[in-house]
Structure 1
């Protein structure tokens, strides 16, 4: 296991950079403050965990697979208390599998102090009591695996809850946990991206928490912190989890008041974790949230995979503007790392974009173009729950909460037999799973057709990409061995007659999944002449 450990030299270097980031602030040491009563070790399972590798799925199950991001609290309530739970989620696995989804990303499901989004973790090895029991979770995992669906979960590596017993011990200088977090005797006065303070008053001095006061950041200059996370990861991998999404990974190390994102030390930390997840265990997957430089984080000596933030925004801009001009979408498609990255249109965070329905003001033609782009690119597409039925914002919330409405199952809601903890989406009456499934021309069936096509077409799932045309019409080929697929997307709201340099002379191209009515042929010079209706999608195999 030594290959996974960040060297003591690296840990010391990180610690030195943290302690030296503000010469006017003298770090508090345990000798200067009273020693409190340790409680974390008695309240939490913090035992060491050895590898027990029992993979549930085939090798490379995640490559090119479509994932669905699910907020358990908002997905399906089984007991009428108005809160989604694992029994409710399990009851909808056939719906998820029927779409063609092969992976689920669960937002945090461990016991939390926020009792909502789950990003304030109190106990890493527990199940959020609102979501049911450990037995409920185990049954969900078994049933997902029985349907060939892998399950990855959010792992909160950057910070804990301020109510986590480990932080309480740190605040009280108890149990040797003081330097598991970052402390200064005086307030260094740093602020985060919003101008909000990132140092907060504790019992003895100030602690660092870039998001807010009840989310204190771990000190990754302490090897015990790294080991703590390793053991938690092994705990869930041994339980059958198929991997993790690492939250807020760009903020692991801070080197100064304006150097709290994308620091070079992050790479070594996450590479060690990649070795644990992907090498000590078989057939697992991990992906990182790095909003500062996702291409760097996707490198093989870093996370190995990361979400392609800002590609999603270029897709949405291209569709809304009717052209790829003025965007970086072509640059993204030419990136060699795209096949290892996570793709998205939107997710649970406002910074990544509002619900797709809202971004297009309900324009279904644009919605379909964006979905067709997402689901025909290299990489691992992630669909946010409800996206496949056109779900919009919740009716009476703001910020991130707008994006996290209870799932729209029926015109009446269908999420619970009780009172939902949060209002349904404002468009639930028209855009819900029941109505959408009954309409063969719906957004739901558009998503299902594309997901199934991707799942059953190796060139779309894992093939290389070559951009052939951009502008009002974006055209690219996906190629694997001797199999080729051509994707043609008319982003314009007017008819277009593109000439596409396919590069194969006198070749017959056959439409796939009714994305095109007839077979077409290239010219003797390898060009394809098409007549496209406004906002039309064509997909051919050749």
Structure 2
């Protein structure tokens, strides 16, 4: 339940390690190129693991690197048990894993189970006939009498969720690209095949999985059409996309998925591994709570709710409080950036965002109850790149241009060296351009600046580990005027920590009697002053204190 000023219930118990961890997401195509082909790879990640370890994070989430025709840049898998040659070899992955473990880092890999590539041998066989051994491994359906698809389901990437196949003279379902057919999870052999592929990676030593689109696994057996949406999903779908016009009652988030997640959890328990599930749903908070309840499904739910264009203190408070109200003992991972959304410096910081905004936003993320997930480059305060139409690679952006430019702007290469070609990412032209403003903020530049966003990230990530209140404590929010977010973290046996954040680009002040007498935690290194009960915060400022 959400704690109130007069209601602090129960004693906190020592949580599992992953509740105290910080996740760092690596998008391998754009992290570090080791062989000069302009595309990042596994040896490149291995080369930069010392950098990742220097941040003070605990888990490295690596986006898909499996064999793939790359029509959706690895989220269209053609072999779940091998590395795509673009990224290296299985031996390269083993070396990456060994080096990460030597540095005290855990490796979590992306699993795209709901759909695969049309080039996967499973689908190649399935589409050959209606009576082959894998004929029912995918969602096939006859057309309606007039030849139209069986229902009104839509693809997230635009258009119908059904693609006609001339060989079987049937439609197959695809929630994303037509080249990404959806697997039929009602078939027990499909479930077992995925559990087997996960075991393959667990045997190699991976520490966990990030489950992509984990509420898309099952569909309604009757293929009933979705009703119109009463409230549009604006958290995971752009308002230019008709996908949000439907209430997704039948095409995803089916009750059968709970049992499959329990099977995954049983497998993970054999290896002491973890799973975090990406949840995009009409009622995402409710699904997240359900999928993490009872300690027998997901360890954590990955939230889209802070990846939206909307930003306000009220909005952030509402999302956290609503999740806490409905969580039922589960756990959430809060992220403000990833490979699918505009970078937070531009999305929430706006045109006036400075490195100070990046520092404040990281401090805020680390103050929330949950496991923080950071996206590569956000520690450098990188802004969204402006990609010219002729350079766009993302099929999503190509479809919805110019109202939606796709996801390439947050996927540009990591800048390592300001003066090197392509900012030290590659010796040859990379798959996406490196903006000059990113090169100016390269790792090597910020390494030398004591007050850089990068060095601040290193400092506060380690500082947070000293305070179990911030990793294990309950959370309370205070009423404060916009754009101030004020909160408290409570853990029995420890002094409470209070914190306030100015999300605006102008100085603010407010009366905060609940923080009176608190000792300022100056080690946080963010500008803010508490005089008695009056808190003054500069633009993008923050303040932390410890109550006696």
Q: For structure 2, list consecutive stretches of 5 or more residues without a partner in the other structure.
A: 1-14, 144-148, 227-249, 393-404
Deviation at 1:208, TM superposition (A): 1.1
**Paired residues of 2:509 and 2:534 also in contact (CA < 8 A):** no
C-alpha separation in 2, matches of 1:375 and 1:530:
21
User: 1:242–1:326: structure 2 CA closer, same or farther, 3 Å change rule?
Assistant: closer
User: 1:102–1:330: structure 2 CA closer, same or farther, 3 Å change rule?
Assistant: closer
Deviation at 1:539, TM superposition (A): 1.4
User: 1:115–1:93: structure 2 CA closer, same or farther, 3 Å change rule?
Assistant: farther
User: 1:478–1:521: structure 2 CA closer, same or farther, 3 Å change rule?
Assistant: farther
Corresponding residue for residue 10 of structure 2? none
Deviation at 1:308, TM superposition (A): 2.1
Equivalent residues in 2 for 1:112-127, closer than 5 Å:
112-114=68-70, 117-127=73-83
Corresponding residue for residue 10 of structure 1? none
Are residue 254 (structure 1) and residue 254 (structure 2) matched?
no
C-alpha separation in 2, matches of 1:125 and 1:383:
27
Equivalent residues in 2 for 1:387-398, closer than 5 Å:
387-394=378-385, 395=387, 396-397=391-392, 398=405
User: 1:407–1:200: structure 2 CA closer, same or farther, 3 Å change rule?
Assistant: same
Corresponding residue for residue 468 of structure 1? 478
TM-score for the superposition, normalised by structure 2: 0.79
Equivalent residues in 2 for 1:260-271, closer than 5 Å:
260-271=251-262
Corresponding residue for residue 532 of structure 1? 537
Root-mean-square deviation (CA, aligned residues, Å) is 2.5
Deviation at 1:516, TM superposition (A): 5.9
C-alpha separation in 2, matches of 1:422 and 1:533:
36
C-alpha separation in 1, matches of 2:366 and 2:39:
31
**Paired residues of 2:360 and 2:526 also in contact (CA < 8 A):** no
User: 1:72–1:510: structure 2 CA closer, same or farther, 3 Å change rule?
Assistant: closer
Are residue 306 (structure 1) and residue 319 (structure 2) matched?
no
Match of 1:328 among 273, 296, 318: 318
Q: Which structure would you say has the larger Rg?
A: 1
User: For 1:270-290, what per-residue CA distance to the aligned partner results, in whole angstroms no more than 9, with x for missing partners?
Assistant: 12212221x2222x2111111
Corresponding residue for residue 501 of structure 1? 514
Corresponding residue for residue 93 of structure 1? 49
User: For 1:28-74, what per-residue CA distance to the aligned partner results, in whole angstroms no more than 9, with x for missing partners?
Assistant: xxxxxxxxxxxxxxxxxxxxxxxxxxxxxxx9432221111111111
Deviation at 1:430, TM superposition (A): 2.3
Are residue 285 (structure 1) and residue 293 (structure 2) matched?
no
User: 1:325–1:133: structure 2 CA closer, same or farther, 3 Å change rule?
Assistant: closer
Deviation at 1:245, TM superposition (A): 0.7
User: 1:312–1:421: structure 2 CA closer, same or farther, 3 Å change rule?
Assistant: closer
TM-score for the superposition, normalised by structure 1: 0.80
User: For 1:228-269, what per-residue CA distance to the aligned partner results, in whole angstroms no more than 9, with x for missing partners?
Assistant: 011111111111000101111121122223221222222222
2:82 alignment partner, SS class:
coil
Are residue 478 (structure 1) and residue 446 (structure 2) matched?
no
1:435 alignment partner, SS class:
helix
**Paired residues of 1:496 and 1:534 also in contact (CA < 8 A):** no
Equivalent residues in 2 for 1:106-117, closer than 5 Å:
106-114=62-70, 117=73
Corresponding residue for residue 407 of structure 1? 414
Deviation at 1:369, TM superposition (A): 2.7
**Paired residues of 1:189 and 1:197 also in contact (CA < 8 A):** no
Corresponding residue for residue 230 of structure 1? 195
Deviation at 1:78, TM superposition (A): 1.1
Equivalent residues in 2 for 1:318-467, closer than 5 Å:
318=312, 323-324=313-314, 328-329=318-319, 331-332=321-322, 334-335=324-325, 337=327, 340-349=331-340, 353-359=341-347, 360-361=349-350, 363-364=353-354, 365-394=356-385, 395=387, 396-397=391-392, 398-411=405-418, 412=420, 413-425=423-435, 427-467=437-477
Report how many aligned residue pairs link the two structures.
Answer: 466
Deviation at 1:307, TM superposition (A): 1.3
User: 1:146–1:511: structure 2 CA closer, same or farther, 3 Å change rule?
Assistant: same
**Paired residues of 1:76 and 1:407 also in contact (CA < 8 A):** yes
